[in-house]
């Protein structure tokens, strides 16, 4: 009896790199869909060949790293193949004297940070989940909690290598901190969620581990106090400033036991010891000026990352929880916070909210029967303030029902230029 031959599609893919059936990778379920085949390229050229094959055959293909954040936002509309970057994992090249690391997309973010730490260096981004990869982090874009001091993810990228659907590999930027002509093209891919092509490698700016750091956690009874304090502290140049509403402050730091707490405010400084000591003292003075009490909770750097992980996985512990990210001009952040509280009251919504006032970002997790009306209200308020709302997490049925408005969909001309057949992460919005 002859052996069963692979299907033609699998044969075509297997001629490029290792391929398995989607049914053999039960952990790869993408927006409720299982790919027919999963390809694992180990070189830039192989990744480009797979994209070219998908485009020529008009085969919908999902681009994934660790897939730790794939099942979020607007879901895929079609899927047949998946391209996993996890085998693009060659040893990172660390140039400690230049503060640069050359790293492949499939390298785990935790592994990279561990390697950098041996040189007393770090990449100033949030750690993400255990499966998070460098390529996935870049494809998701955004910025970490330390963006006040170090900037957004795109500010850390000096150059990158891209595989596109025309079957070619392109390089933008390189091993320099200077601007490079044409590099803005590469920056389009940061935050594009795999809808344009595959980031296969990046040159990233890294930083020395600060010699000292201090974290302060304050509690307040009113929005006015924390907002004025946050504004006053901008001149002190903190690395992190975050404001939590009472439910989230209680979930993260158990602050509900400290009297009539309505808000928590977390501030972090990092740098030379004497400078940090001075910033700490100046922040205590600001807290006193606006009636903010210093929390009894003992918070350090490690705990900040632990709490970040709690926020990243809130929906895993509460299946009906919906998460959104709101971005408005930084001068309008307080108005957005007030609109958020008003809408929650109007529609009977239970929420957990974190505000980053210095950068105009708010993250909200919520539940309630009138969730869609609440989201539309947030969308209207954000748009009126010159901002937008992005759905991050939620049940698949929720993510299908709430479509991101047209302002958040990647420009169709850009999408058509890089992916004319529309096969990459079809339906995903940026």
Q: Which domains occur in the chain, in start order?
A: 1-209 (3.30.465.10), 212-296 (3.30.70.3450), 313-412 (3.30.70.2740)
Q: Which residue has the tokens 């990172």?
A: 92
- Please tell me the predicted confidence (pLDDT) of residue 131: 75
Which tokens is 425 given? 């992460």
DSSP 366-392: EE-TTHHHHHHHHHHHHHHTT-EEEEE
User: Residues of 151-164 as b/e, b for ≥16 C-beta within 10 angstroms?
Assistant: ebbbebbbbbbbbb
For residue 167, count CB atoms less than 10 angstroms from its CB and return exposed for 0-12, middle for 13-18, buried for 19 or more.
Answer: middle
Check residue 130 and give its pLDDT. 62
According to the model, what pLDDT value does residue 412 have? 76
The pLDDT of residue 181 is 47
- pLDDT confidence of residue 202: 96
What three-state secondary structure class fits 342?
A: helix
Per-residue pLDDT, 142: 66
pLDDT at 427: 83
**C-alpha distances in angstroms, 89 versus 81, 111, 347?**
21, 10, 47
HEC assignment per residue over 282-323 = HHHHHHHHCCCEECCCCCCHHHHHHHHHHHHCHHHHCCCCEE
The DSSP result for 253-270, as a single string, is H-GGGSSS--EEEEEEEE
One pLDDT digit (tens) per residue for the chain, 430 residues: 444 445 556 668 889 999 999 999 888 999 999 999 999 999 999 999 999 999 999 999 999 998 777 888 888 999 999 999 999 999 999 999 999 999 999 999 999 999 999 999 999 987 666 678 999 999 988 667 788 888 888 899 999 999 999 999 999 886 544 444 444 677 889 988 899 999 999 999 999 999 999 999 999 988 899 999 999 999 999 999 999 998 888 888 877 655 567 899 999 999 999 999 999 999 999 999 999 998 866 677 777 767 776 776 666 556 688 999 999 999 999 999 999 999 999 999 999 999 999 889 999 999 999 999 999 999 999 999 999 898 888 888 888 877 654 434 446 788 889 999 999 998 887 6
Asked whether 126 and 305 are in contact (CB, 8 A), the reply is yes
User: How many angstroms separate the CA atoms of 289 and 395, rounded?
Assistant: 44
pLDDT for position 141: 82
* Distance, first Cα to last Cα, the chain: 50
User: Model's pTM, two decimal places?
Assistant: 0.87
What pLDDT score was predicted for residue 297?
A: 65
């Amino acid at each position: 009896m002859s052996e069963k031959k692979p299907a033609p599609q699998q044969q075509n893919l297997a001629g490029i790199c290792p391929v398995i059936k989607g049914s053999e990778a039960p952990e790869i379920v993408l927006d409720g869909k299982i790919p027919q085949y999963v390809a694992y390229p180990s070189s830039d050229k192989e990744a480009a060949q797979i994209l070219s094959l998908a485009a020529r055959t008009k085969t919908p293909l999902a681009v994934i790293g660790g897939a730790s954040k794939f099942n979020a936002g607007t879901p895929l509309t079609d899927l047949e193949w998946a391209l996993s970057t996890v085998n693009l994992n060659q040893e990172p090249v660390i140039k400690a004297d230049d503060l640069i690391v050359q790293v492949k997309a499939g390298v785990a973010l935790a592994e990279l940070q561990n390697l950098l730490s041996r040189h007393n260096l770090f990449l100033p981004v949030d750690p993400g989940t255990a499966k998070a990869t460098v390529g996935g982090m870049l494809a998701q874009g955004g910025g970490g909690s330390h963006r006040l001091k170090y900037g957004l993810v795109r500010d850390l990228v000096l150059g990158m290598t891209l595989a596109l659907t025309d079957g070619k590999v392109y390089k933008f930027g390189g091993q320099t901190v200077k601007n490079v002509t044409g590099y803005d093209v590469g920056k389009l891919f940061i935050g594009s969620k795999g809808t344009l092509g595959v980031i296969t490698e990046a040159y990233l700016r890294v930083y020395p581990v600060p010699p000292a750091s201090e974290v302060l956690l304050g509690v307040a009874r009113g929005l006015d106090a924390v907002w004025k304090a946050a504004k006053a502290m901008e001149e002190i140049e903190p690395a992190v400033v975050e404001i939590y509403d009472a439910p989230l402050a209680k979930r993260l730091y158990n602050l509900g036991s400290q009297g009539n707490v309505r808000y928590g405010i977390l501030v972090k400084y990092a740098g030379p010891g004497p400078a940090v000591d001075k910033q700490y003292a100046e922040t205590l003075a600001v807290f006193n000026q606006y009636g903010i009490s210093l929390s009894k909770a003992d918070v350090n750097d490690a705990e900040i990352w632990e709490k970040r992980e709690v926020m990243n996985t809130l929906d895993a512990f509460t299946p009906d929880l919906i998460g959104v990210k709101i971005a408005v001009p930084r001068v309008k952040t307080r108005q957005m916070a007030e609109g958020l509280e008003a809408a929650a009251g109007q529609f009977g919504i239970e929420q957990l909210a974190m505000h980053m006032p210095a950068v105009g970002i708010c993250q909200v997790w919520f539940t309630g029967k009138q969730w869609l009306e609440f989201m539309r209200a947030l969308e209207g308020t954000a748009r009126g303030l010159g901002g937008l709302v992005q759905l991050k997490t939620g049940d698949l049925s929720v993510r299908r029902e709430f479509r991101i408005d047209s302002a958040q969909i990647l420009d169709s001309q850009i999408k058509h230029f890089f992916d004319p057949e529309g096969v990459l992460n079809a339906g995903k919005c940026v």
